[in-house]
Every structure is written in C-alpha cells, then in structure tokens.
Amino acid sequence: MSTPPPPQPNPYGQPPQQPPNPYAHQPHPGFPQQQPHPGFPQQQPYPGFPQWQPPKKKSRAGLVLGIVGGVLGIVLIGVGALAYVGIRYDKSFPKAEYRLELTKTLLDGKYELAKDLSRDKGSEIADHADGDWDAKDVTGVVAQYTRGGNQSDGVLIVSGMYGRFKNTDKARNSMMKGGSEADNATLVVEPRDFHPAGTDVTITCQVLTHGSGITKVTMPMCAWTDGNTGASVAEITPRIAAQNPQDVDLAAAAATAAKVRSELRKPVD
C-alpha cells in the first residue's frame, strides 16, 4: 500500500485572525423578540410604561414628604416663640386644668402616631419657656403622625406645650411669626383668625411655602394658645403640597387644628 503524500502547505499561508464577532454572544442579533433586555419597551415590563411612574402632579408632594424635618423645624420655631412674647403685667397665672396628651391616632383615626419627639424636641421647648414671664410649669409635646400609617399619603406635625400661660393672643401671633421666619420658609398668605364651630379659642392660620426652586411646596400652618395649652399644627398631603398657596382652604385647616386640639387636650388628673 502506498503512503499518502504529506499535506501540502496552504499557498495562502495561515488564515488571518478574524476580528471578534460582535454578535458572537447574541445568537439572534437584530431580533427584538429574542433579546430580553435590549431597550425595547415591549420587553421591559417596568421602565417604559407610564403606569409605573407617579403622576407628575404628585412629584412636588413627593419632595415635601422628603423634607418633613424642615417642616418640623418650622413648627418648632413657631412654638418656640411662645417663650419670648410677653411683658410682665402681674404675677398671676391661670390654674393648670388641661394638658396635651399624644394619642395613638388623630382626626378620628385618619392619622397614626409615627414619632413621639417630645423627649428631645419637647424638652428644648420646655427649657426655653419654663420660668419665662408668660409661661410656667411647661412641658413640651412634639409628634409626627402619618396618614394611614403611610408617610407618602400625608404627614401631620404637632408641636406644642402645656402648662400655665398668659397673654395668649400675643403668644399665638408670635408662633405664626416664628414659623414664617424659619429657614427656607416664605409667608405667602397672611395670618387670619378663625373660630371653628364648637371651639372656644381663636385658631390662627397662614400659608407658607417651604424649600427653594423646584422643591417649593405649599404648607398651611395653624396655631392656638389658651391658658393651659398651645400648639402649631401643619398637615402636608400630596394634594395640599401641590396647591397654589392662594387656593388653600384656611377655614378647613383651622377646623383641622381645632379637631387636633379637641383630641389632644385632656383634663389634668
């Protein structure tokens, strides 16, 4: 048997190295239905569909809920002003008959207690106010409530104190002034006095905007002061936050503050 001839060398030499095939790892290039995530909306169930994006009208409200700390600062500054409003007229103070007691829910269960900040923030208020000419035996009360237990649906902040107070009208007006002068706060609607049905004190309300640039949101702020209790109340919901400040229903805000007062104000044991 004859031996087969050895293989002849390739007259063209070794084939040149081919550049890597850009589709080497894409068995079906060019066919969207074969590519699970190539940027085609029909293959991406989440990023390309409007129903997965919050409505634009709520975007400002989302920003509000991210700056609750700043809003808390406004109402704290407002109620802190209660300690510095008076001129000594006499040495008499009202009898201590009522106190403020944080409840687990507010506004007939609409809001749930999320944070009791009385130990830290409340003590700051009390330290400033107790022994002042127009406040004695003061205890600070500060809390954050969330709507239905969900902060994204709304937040209600109560910042106040109880004890024995004089010159209540001046104190309430000073609380409004203090809130409007807080950092990043702008007074848009001047304070107005209200007397909601069933309420024996004046509720004063104003409208502020908080923040700057595109982060500005609308925030109504109300306050009361009687002989034993005083507090600022700020409710922030997506609808309120996105409103034109001039369109805010201050009478409704006053009624809300009056309702908060009626639920938190308890007789002294």
pLDDT digits 0-9 by tens, 188-229: 999 999 999 999 999 999 999 988 777 788 999 999 999 999
- Please indicate, yes or no, if residue 160 is contained in any of the structural domains: yes
In a domain, residue 81? The reply is yes
**Helix (DSSP H) and strand (DSSP E) numbers for the chain:** 6, 10
Compute the distance between CA of residue 83 and CA of residue 102 in angstroms, rounded to an integer. Answer: 21
**Residue 267 has what DSSP assignment?**
E
Are 135 and 82 contacting, i.e. CB atoms less than 8 angstroms apart? Answer: yes
Q: What are the tokens at 35?
A: 């590519």
Residue 26 inside a domain? The answer is no
pLDDT of residue 4: 56
pLDDT in tens, 81-91: 555 444 444 45
Domain range for residue 191?
Answer: 57-86+96-267
Q: Is residue 65 assigned to a domain?
A: yes
Q: Where do we find the tokens 């997965």? A: 52
Domain-embedded: residue 246? yes
Which pLDDT tens digit goes with each residue over 126-176? 666 655 557 788 888 989 999 998 888 889 999 888 999 888 898 888 888
Domain for residue 235, yes or no? yes
Rounded CA separation 213/194 (Å): 32
**pLDDT at position 135, please?**
79
Q: Which of 42-51, 138-147, 179-188, 228-237 has the lowest mean pLDDT?
A: 42-51
Reduced to 3 states (helix: H, G, I; strand: E, B; else coil), residue 51 is: helix
- Residue 122 makes CB contacts below 8 A (sequence gap 6+) with 139, 140, 141, 142, 161
Q: Give the chain's domain count.
A: 1
Residue 36 falls within a domain, yes or no? no
Mean residue pLDDT of the chain comes to: 75
pTM of the prediction? 0.70
